Amino acid sequence: MDGMVPLQKQILDYTASLFQEGYLDDQFNQLQELQDESNPDFVVEVVTLFFEDADRLLNELSKALVQESIDFRRLDAHVHQLKGSSSSIGAQRVQRVCISFRNCCQEQNIEGCLKSLQQVKHEYSLVKTKLETLFQMEEQLVAGRG
């Protein structure tokens, strides 16, 4: 690490902390492995798609849970999508909350679903902030080299 600029080390340490704290799992490593000179923005592009899909799905879930008659199958389908989306970028904590959310949908447990929705929103907000911070740091590093 002797030749590393301080920001590079900061990025490595920050990324390591995201894994240690369980925000990210090995799937995020897979995405980084797919990034190279021919696809330099691959990770940011995929994660941006995740943010767009998650924002849309969380909106749908919020609307679905205030209906007079809750369609639990539709609710479950949205959570299933969010679970898949989060697992494909390695957003481990979001994925885990989605698993328990699905159990509540399948049990038609309204209170459980409402609580799960708050939990998934919270975990998503956390990982989104952390990933945005990471991407900003990486941008600064590239700008500094330019």
Partner 1 sequence: MAPNENSATELTALVVDDDRQLRMIHQRMLNKVGVKNQAVENGKEAVQIHCSGQGFDLILMDKEMPLMNGIEATKELRSMGICSTIVGVSSHTKEKQIQEFMEAGLDDYLVKPLNLAKLRSILDKIM
Judged by CB under 8 A, the residue of 4, 5, 16, 34 near partner 1 is: 34
CB of 34 to partner 1, least distance (A): 5
For residue 24, report the phi and psi dihedrals to the nearest 5 degrees.
-125, 150
Identify whether the C-beta of residue 135 lies closer than 8 Å to the C-beta of residue 15: no
CA dihedral 104, 109, 114, 115 (to 10 degrees): -60
Nearest of 136, 131, 140, 65 to residue 94 by alpha carbon: 131
* Shorter beta-carbon distance to partner 1: residue 8 or 53: 53
# of chain residues touching partner 1 (CB under 8 A): 21
* Shorter beta-carbon distance to partner 1: residue 84 or 144: 84
* Shorter beta-carbon distance to partner 1: residue 120 or 140: 120
* Shorter beta-carbon distance to partner 1: residue 53 or 114: 53
CB of 5 to partner 1, least distance (A): 28
- Tell whether the torsion through CA atoms of 87, 90, 93 and 96 is positive or negative: positive
Identify whether the C-beta of residue 14 lies closer than 8 Å to the C-beta of residue 28: no
Ranges within 86-115 binding partner 1 (CB under 8 A): 87-89
Ranges within 40-69 binding partner 1 (CB under 8 A): 42, 45-46, 49-50, 53
Identify whether the C-beta of residue 11 lies closer than 8 Å to the C-beta of residue 134: yes
List residues near partner 1 by CB under 8 A: 26-27, 30-31, 33-34, 39, 42, 45-46, 49-50, 53, 80-81, 83-85, 87-89
